[in-house]
Structure 1
Amino acid sequence: MTTNTPFLEKVKTKAHLEDVFDARDIAEVVFRTMRDLMTTEASQRVGQELQEKHEAIPTVDEVPKGEVADLWKDTNPIVSFLSRVRPPLKFDADTFLFRITQEGSLPRGVTAETVVTAIFSATKDELSKERVEEIDGFLPDKIQQMWRQA
């Protein structure tokens, strides 16, 4: 099991996925797509808040901290660098969902809408009202509605 189990268990259950590894892989794609729409500063604020929240939670049995914050970070150094130097991308809800479908390797019978809503719901549980509202401002129409309803 990974250190992301509580968050990933929520995603797995709400998205009707078979295991937390699918949840982890899809969450990384959704987070990357979200970050692409955000300014570097906003993305860093979200990452910092996720990190601080989990640093404040005591660990049991030496379980590592930082679960969702680790998923939020871009592990590809080239993509990470480019995202810091370029302005936010602009794309619509259909493109957002298309990216999730194409890059997320969704299991048969699971829609992009289902996994996005599950990840949004689990993510909002991890963030302050200020960060939730800030992210809301970057999302395109239908995706923004999904964020609000999650």
Structure 2
Amino acid sequence: MPNNTEFLEKVQKQAHLEDIYDARDVTEVVFRTMRDLMNTDASDRVESELRQNDDPVPTPAEEQQQEIADLWKDTNPVVSFLSRIRPPLNFDADTFLFRIRQEASLPKGVSPETVVTAIFSATKDELSQERIKEIASFLPPKIQQMWQQA
């Protein structure tokens, strides 16, 4: 089981998902959608803060932080490269939620809003107030409200 188990268990429980692997897959989609709204510097700051580890031999807590940061970072090299050279996308809350619904393969009866709120809540537990405010500044108003209430 990956070291980010605690984080993913929070997501799984709050989002009413069947297993931790569903939580991981959905988290990656939500993180990608969030990154698409952000400029590269802001996205890098979030990843850096999630990673928070420069030790050669990380503790279990530091390993978990690295794993959460790995969820933030896009695993597709082509998408990752393109997202670094293109400007942030600009889309509304409906498009944000539509992307989650379409790309995350949500289980029947689980709404995108429920999943997004669960991921937002677990993510905010890992970030400083400064990073929380910065992320909020990139989100469409309705999604920003979900972020702030999570």
The interval holding the TM-score normalised by the smaller chain is over 0.9
5+ residue gaps, structure 2: none
User: Which stretch shifts more, 63-72 or 49-58?
Assistant: 49-58
5 Å matches for 1:1-150? Answer: 1-52=1-52, 58-59=59-60, 66-150=66-150
5+ residue gaps, structure 1: none
Q: For residues 69 and 54 of structure 1, do their structure 2 counterparts lie closer, same or farther at Cα, with a shift above 3 Å needed? A: farther
Q: CA deviation at 1:71?
A: 0.2
Answer yes or no: is the 8 Å Cα contact 1:37–1:139 preserved in 2.
yes
Q: CA deviation at 1:58?
A: 2.1
Q: CA RMSD in A?
A: 1.8
Deviation digits for residues 16-41 of structure 1, max 9, x if unmatched? 01100000000000000000000000
Cα distance in structure 2, aligned partners of 1:24 and 1:94:
23
Q: Percent identity over the alignment?
A: 70
Q: CA deviation at 1:93?
A: 0.1
- One-letter amino acid matched to 2:126: E
Q: What TM-score, normalized to structure 2?
A: 0.93
Answer yes or no: is the 8 Å Cα contact 1:54–1:66 preserved in 2.
no
Q: What TM-score, normalized to structure 1?
A: 0.93
Q: For residues 114 and 64 of structure 1, do their structure 2 counterparts lie closer, same or farther at Cα, with a shift above 3 Å needed? A: closer
Answer yes or no: is the 8 Å Cα contact 2:3–2:60 preserved in 1.
no
Q: CA deviation at 1:45?
A: 0.2
Cα distance in structure 2, aligned partners of 1:64 and 1:129:
20
Q: CA deviation at 1:137?
A: 0.1
